[in-house]
Structure 1
Amino acid sequence: MKEVRKILLPMPSISNGEAALTRGYNFARRFGAHLAILHVRTDGRDIAPLAGEGLSGAMVEELMRSAEHESSRHAHDVHKLFERFAAANPDVPLVSRHAANGLPFPSVSFTVLRGVESEIIPAHARLSDFTLVPHPDSGREVSSSETLHAVLFDSGRPVVMAPRTPPVGLIKRVCIAWNGTAESSAALHGALAWAAEAEAVRVLHCEDYQRRGPGARDVLDYLALHGIEADSVEFPPVDRDVGKGLLAACSDFKADLLAMGAYSHSRLRQLILGGVTRYVLEHADLTVLMSR
């Protein structure tokens, strides 16, 4: 993926939203792309089938009113955050999502839809070059983020996780985690847009992380065919944790972006036993591209 024309940014709330907007605007400018910001409002009526038996009609009505109030609050807060950010960045024109095709890039749109977020977001992600998501660390376990995982498992497109704090500058140093799997291959392809313009690219590999498939030397040859010069480094686990070692290697390289395959093992196994994907989701302070 060496050309980027559409970036989807779902914003379920304002949590870590400023950092995601900063990164999204930077991407739109860098690639001359359209940034499509999407907020999905839950419908209070969807609560009724989930309420279960034993609740009176009045209790169900109260649950629906509460859900609708919460949905309205989130929509209001997200829209206000976007308005402030757009006013501070007038060089990226605001257009409707249907008008983006006929206007010069970069551009941005803001859309609110009603429905089930886990269905609507992946559907829109399938016709985006990648989906940028706010860092899901919002006071609950990061690995349970519904938006990130819905896109990762049900869109067929890469997911880029923004850092927690607003990033400074463009992505200049790119790390690609390689273990020979189809998931890491998809991440490699997704990272080409950044690697092609980066000032330095490094392929990271680890004996404890490698699966059957091509090695790091083969990745360097592949990148060279795309005109991308890179080096490779074998990193050790830290405290016997591959994920911790991977992030340490990114820090040593002063990387702005890490591209990696996600959930080479099943998500259930990683949730129970831990894993590289889970560790990176919970501890990364840089922008992370994931594919599976």
Structure 2
Amino acid sequence: MSIKTILLHMANDDRHAARLEAAVALAKRFDAFVEVLYVATPVSMPAAATGRAASYGYIAEATAIAHERAEQIEREVRQALAGCSFSWTVEEGDHVALLAERATYADLAIVAQSGAEEGGERIALHVPDRLPLETACPTLVLPPAFKAGMTMGEHVLVAWKNTRESTHAVRNAMPFLQAATKVTVLTIDPPNHRGDSGRDLMVWLERHGVRSHHQANIAHGGDVGDLILTCAADLGADLLVMGAYGHSRLREMVLGGATRTVLAKLHLPALMSH
């Protein structure tokens, strides 16, 4: 699948510039149209704004400020996307619901990692990085550490398990995998596992022109999500591809913990599909 429409989540937050920079780079790389959705409703609020009246008051004030800043941010978007095809829309409401509605018509969505607000000083009102669980559109989640000018997609780490979600993630990531300098397939198996869990995927990838390396790990307890992130750091990967697990109670218990951990502790961009 080629990437021809990118849905970019924008808001009045301190990380919107990094998301915009990533969208610009990918739009130029894939010759894609960028649909910019600016949601004026605040994503979070100060923990001190307790009580219904204080909460409603903060949300109303923050929304008004976001509308005031919309014109300035639109100018930033127009300047950054000069030479690219794009659209600009301003909405109010639930960030995930609004994004999911538009993601149906996109090939890639870009959001920021919500994570836990630093030091517990803020309360999350909306969680944009839940988008991978709400849509079939692959979602690129950018961590707070991602800054303009950082490389993304030179070394791609694929967290692989033969499941529907992982399969969707790999297929959706094909444009990134084919453009990467290095691709590593990471498998995490239980003790006493026999066989090569990554072989069949690596053969399939090679038929699509993607040469890959296998990183086989054995899980001796602990959180699989932590192991994935540790491997990504040790290998120097700059993009993680993985399935996002949720909804099903059984899958959430067996596999969902890894998704939660990765989204909470993410230190590199992650391309996630459900």
TM range (shorter): 0.7 to 0.9
Judge conservation of contact 2:133–2:245 (CA < 8 Å) in 1: no
Deviation of the 1:163 alpha carbon: 2.6
SS in 1 for 2:22: helix
Structure 1 residue runs of 5 or longer lacking an equivalent are: 44-54, 94-105
| Aligned equivalent of 1:102 | none
Offset of 1:195 from its aligned partner? 0.5
Q: Which runs of 5+ in 2 are unaligned?
A: 43-51
Asked if 2 retains the 8 angstrom alpha-carbon contact of 1:270 and 1:278, the reply is: no
Match for 1:233: what amino acid? Q
- Counting only pairs closer than 5 Å after superposition, residues 204-223 of structure 1 correspond to structure 2 as 204-208=186-190, 215-223=197-205
Partner of 2:267: 285
Q: Which of 107, 127, 131 is matched with 2:85 structurally?
A: 107
Q: Please report how far the alpha carbon of residue 230 of structure 1 lies from its aligned counterpart in structure 2 after TM superposition.
A: 0.7
Matched, 1:187 2:179: no
Write the distance in 2 (CA, Å) between the matches of 1:243 and 1:19: 24
Contact 1:220 1:229 in 2 (8 A): yes
Are the counterparts in 2 of residues 183 and 261 from structure 1 also a CA contact under 8 Å? yes
Q: Residue 98 of structure 1 aligns with which residue?
A: none
The one-letter code sitting in structure 1 at the alignment partner of 2:162 is: G
Separation in structure 1 between the aligned mates of residue 238 and residue 169 of structure 2, nearest angstrom: 15
Q: From the two aligned structures, give the one with the greater strand fraction.
A: 2
1:155 aligns with 135
CA contact (8 A) 1:10 1:133 kept: yes
> How well do the aligned residues superpose, as a CA RMSD in angstroms?
3.3
Moved more, 113-122 or 133-142: 133-142
Q: Which amino acid aligns with 1:156?
A: A
Matches of 1:217 and 1:277, distance apart in 2:
24
Moved more, 137-146 or 250-259: 137-146
Residue 19 of structure 1 pairs with residue 9 of structure 2:
no
Distance in 1 between the 2:5 and 2:18 partners?
A: 19
User: Structure 1's 240 and 154: CA in aligned 2 closer, same or farther, altered over 3 A?
Assistant: closer
The one-letter amino acid of 1:162's match is L
| 1:238–1:111 Cα change, 3 Å | farther
Cα distance in 2 between the residues matched to 1:119 and 1:74: 19
Q: Work out the number of aligned pairs and report it.
A: 256
Separation in 1 of the partners of 2:125 and 2:158?
24
Deviation at 1:239, TM superposition (A): 7.2
TM superposition shift of 1:232: 1.1
* The structure with more radius of gyration: 1
- Asked if residue 131 in structure 1 is aligned to residue 109 in structure 2, the reply is yes
When the two structures are superposed, what TM-score results if normalisation uses the length of structure 1? 0.75
1:20 touches 1:135 (CA, 8 Å); kept in 2? no
Structure 2 length normalisation: TM-score? 0.80
Partner secondary structure for residue 157 of structure 1:
coil
Alignment partners' CA distance in 1, 2:166 and 2:102: 23
Structure 1 runs of 4+ aligned residues shifted over 6 Å read 62-65, 141-144
1:238 offset after TM fit, Å? 8.2
8 A contact 1:135–1:162 mirrored in 2? yes
Aligned counterparts of 2:190 and 2:69: Cα–Cα separation in 1:
44
Q: Is 1:71 matched up with 2:81?
A: no
Find the aligned partners of 2:230 and 2:244 in 1 and give their Cα distance.
18
Identity %: 27
State the Cα distance separating 1:197 from its structure 2 match.
0.7
Give the counterpart of 1:232 among 214, 231, 250.
214
